[in-house]
Structure 1
Amino acid sequence: MSLANYIKGNARLKKVFHWMLIPSDEARPRLWVRLFLNRFYHQKGRGVIIRSWVRMDVVPFNKFAIGNKSVIEDFSTINNGVGAVIIGHNSLIGLGNVIIGPVTIGDDVILAQNIVASGLNHNYNDISRPIRVQGVSTAPIVIEDNCWVGANAVITAGVTIGRQSIIAAGAVVTKNIPPYSVAVGNPARVIKKYDEEQQAWVKV
């Protein structure tokens, strides 16, 4: 049995190691994790730019990877505490984005400003107890290659946005979006699809 599996299988030991990485009731890792451990543990491609004012709530027990020549702009938050965050090559995470795993972003994706993509939901089954003590559930978000997501959009847990799609500014994506689609509104709905024969975007 590996050391990692041994720790995961021992509830008390797991709690101690978690506390060493992240202070109790907080999401941000301890300074030594951010400065030293993550630097050597996670995958970072060539020519990556992560701006100075990005909040990297990244821990070593879940994957974080970012591909070649991708950029994360200032005032964004990246959190892999409950699921991996994987960003492909040549992708842009715009100003003020919040990415909470599990989230996979493909190659050549553009996320504009103030987008929230969260694969996390808080459980609330027992109204006699505070929400914060009822745990969380996760469902992966996937944004496939060459998508463009407009400013202030929200992408909810469990959603896949198909390749070559456009999500309009302010849209709330609660269901899967097929490839080669334009989606708008709250909840987001597809209003156009790309027609290969006509070589044009066609209303649906």
Structure 2
Amino acid sequence: MIIKSLSPSARIAIGPESGITSSTISAVVDVSIGARVLIGSGCIITDSDHHVVRTQGGNSRRHLGLPAAEPHHAVRIEDDVFIGARSIVLKGVTIGRGSVIGAGSVVSRDIAPNTIAAGNPCVPVGKVDE
């Protein structure tokens, strides 16, 4: 597992009884993972693009090798979530309590609590029986 804070003020919080297998968590602002969360192998969780998207000629931040000035948005993974292997959770996303994310999904929007979601882009495909 790789946990990388890219800013002195970045916060990465992982709740009790959570398990993470060979995944990457990267934060510029805030990544919060609740209790009893299971994160499968090879997942990426990030609150930033981590690169400059826009170019404006030869003097752009990208061409000068400067870090991204793009907006960063916190990621929240609530309690009792399962994230399948090789999934990617992008900036600004909240995954609701008790949800299941299918393997290989790209989560670019919020997922409601107790939802089964999968795909690229990740979309709801069912509900978790309580």
> Where on the TM-score scale, by shorter chain, does this alignment land: which range?
0.7 to 0.9
Contact 2:90 2:107 in 1 (8 A): yes
Once the two structures are aligned, what percentage of the paired residues are identical? 29
| Pick aligned residue for 2:56 from 127, 145, 156 | 127
Paired residues in the alignment total: 120
Q: Which of the two has higher C-alpha Rg?
A: 1
For 1:127 and 1:152, the matched residues in 2 are separated by 33
Amino acid at match of 2:24: V
Listed one character per residue, the Cα deviations across residues 138-171 of structure 1 (whole Å, up to 9, x for unaligned) are 1111100000000000000000000000000000
Q: CA deviation at 1:124?
A: 2.8
Amino acid at match of 1:135: A
For 1:123 and 1:176, the matched residues in 2 are separated by 24
Give the unaligned 5+ runs of structure 2. none
For 1:134 and 1:124, the matched residues in 2 are separated by 11
- Structure number with higher relative contact order (C-alpha < 8 Å, ≥ 6 residues apart): 2
Q: CA deviation at 1:134?
A: 5.3
Contact 1:183 1:191 in 2 (8 A): yes
Pairs within 5 Å for 1:6-21: none
Write out the 4+ residue segments of structure 1 that deviate beyond 4 Å after TM superposition.
none
Please state which structure has a larger fraction of its residues in helix: 1
1:84 counterpart = 2:18: no
For 1:90 and 1:116, the matched residues in 2 are separated by 20
